[in-house]
Amino acid sequence: MAHLLSTSYSVKFSSGCKPSTKPLIQDSVVFPKSVTFQTSKTPFTRLLLQAQRSRSNCTVCATTLSASREASNEPSQGVHQSSSEPSKSKRVMVIGGDGYCGWATALHLSKKGYEVAIVDSLVRRLFDQQLGIDSLTPISSIHDRLRCWKALTGKSIELYIGDICDFEFLTDAFKSFEPEAVVHFGEQRSAPYSMIDRSRAVYTQNNNVIGTLNVLFAIKEFGEQCHLVKLGTMGEYGTPNIDIEEGYITITHNGRTDTLPYPKQASSFYHLSKVHDSNNIAFTCKAWGIRATDLNQGVVYGVITDETEMHEELINRLDYDGVFGTALNRFCVQAAVGHPLTVYGKGGQTRGYLDIRDTVQCVEIAIANPAQAGEFRVFNQFTEQFSVNELAALVTKAGEKLGLDVHTTSVPNPRVEAEEHYYNAKHTKLIELGLKPHLLSDSLLDSLLNFAVKYEDRVDKKQIMPSVSWRKIGAKPKTVAA
């Protein structure tokens, strides 16, 4: 691996700090105080204090050297291009690019020829430290990941480490990189995390809503033509007893007809933060002419993409614990380690799902086909819908084929949600723009299960059961991990 670790990096300081003139070897890059790993009796309070402290300090951003810019002045608005070959170089800022979806997307866009910059506070790694959990897969530091990518492909990805709730930091990143599109994955994305206690609920809404608001102001101030591609969630809609449309519904009421935003019925403080984001984005599209695509994403499964499987140092994270793990990924890891599949309640909860290879494809399609100025476009980003019981049955069948002894257990539902309900959500707009879905197949389940078996020694079985209750959330800071 030593040959992959030779890329040198420079460090950029945001305004108010003295610039460093000498390039640094990556390992010596100083992390901002907000990502110093510490344990404490009240770890969350410390996170907030550190975050507040870091916001008044200068922010250190590491960036790769020699990113060539081929800026184009061609208008991009409304031009529908092939998703596979962008006709011009586009600078895409991937906020949250060290996370599960963001990492795979950043590599995919870089491979496709886009100039990519990752913006991330690395707070997701801090959550792991605080909760005593870890990804199933051993993930390298963001710096090692980027060095490896550069060594393998010759492509540089710029890196800005900082918190987008810090507007000064975000401003510097915008002015420095001048993005033509921003893909915004950079939020606290776990519903259970937002329901641990009051401080996590407040943190989630503050982080997500203010972060997105800052992105909107940065676009208004420094990149009016920039296309915002924002990750929302299908969970914003809830489970209404009628079909779910893509963002808007036409209603006739008392003889008058209008097309209105589809009603939202979010079911956690996390999902509510996404609804607030959507409202803020819709408003700024109308008021300021911002162009935006809200991708209401379903539950993502899988770990491998063409790019992340190029080298073990590019491996993506895979969460299986009760706080960050999502349904299908969790079941595969449970099957691999001989833990019964944990179905919450009756198991009739039905949601939209998609392969991570389709997440990266959908984002690229959205970038290649930008929204018009002033347009707030909503795509439902999933490919198939399953109930939890259906997923458990599929994983049981696939596990038995591999010789695993798979059982299912029903555990009391920690969430407040319908356990049997109607669900039919539209998802045609991305298909119309060229999405070629990877549907859930036996071979994908085989490979996911084999992946889980490969890393089974890293599984901490104590983290599997749900530990956060929607009904028992309280104001007192709570320690989750044993």
Chain contacts with ligand NAD (rule: CB under 6 A)? 96, 98-102, 120-124, 163-165, 185-189, 207, 211, 231, 233, 297, 299-300, 326
Active site residue 233: yes
Q: Which is nearer to ligand NAD, 81 or 102 (CB)?
A: 102
Q: Which is nearer to ligand NAD, 32 or 86 (CB)?
A: 32
Question: Which position's Cβ is nearest ligand NAD?
Answer: 99
Q: Which is nearer to ligand NAD, 101 or 473 (CB)?
A: 101
List of residues 6+ apart from 247 with CB closer than 8 A: 261, 262, 294, 296, 376, 377, 378, 379, 380
Annotated active-site residue in 64, 233, 239, 308: 233
- Nearest in space to 308 (alpha carbons), one of 184, 441, 137: 137
Annotated active-site residue in 9, 114, 203, 270: 270
| Shortest Å distance, C-beta 138 to ligand NAD | 15
Q: Which is nearer to ligand NAD, 123 or 213 (CB)?
A: 123
| Shortest Å distance, C-beta 103 to ligand NAD | 8
- Nearest in space to 261 (alpha carbons), one of 289, 281, 241, 287: 281
| Shortest Å distance, C-beta 36 to ligand NAD | 14
Q: Which is nearer to ligand NAD, 76 or 314 (CB)?
A: 314
Active site residue 270: yes
Place of tokens 């003139």: 21
Q: Which is nearer to ligand NAD, 76 or 233 (CB)?
A: 233
Kindly provide the b/e burial profile for residues 210-225, where b requires at least 16 CB atoms within 10 angstroms of the residue's own CB.
Answer: bbbbbbbbbbeeebee
Phi-psi region of 403 (alpha: psi -120 to 50; beta: other; left: phi over 0): left
| Shortest Å distance, C-beta 88 to ligand NAD | 27
List of residues 6+ apart from 463 with CB closer than 8 A: 132, 133, 320, 321, 322, 481
| Shortest Å distance, C-beta 98 to ligand NAD | 4
Q: Which is nearer to ligand NAD, 159 or 459 (CB)?
A: 159
| Shortest Å distance, C-beta 325 to ligand NAD | 10
Q: Which is nearer to ligand NAD, 81 or 356 (CB)?
A: 356
| Shortest Å distance, C-beta 327 to ligand NAD | 9
Active site residue 320: no
| Shortest Å distance, C-beta 465 to ligand NAD | 20
Annotated active-site residue in 274, 284, 308, 359: 274
Count of Cβ atoms closer than 10 Å to residue 165 Cβ: 21
Active site residues: 233, 270, 274
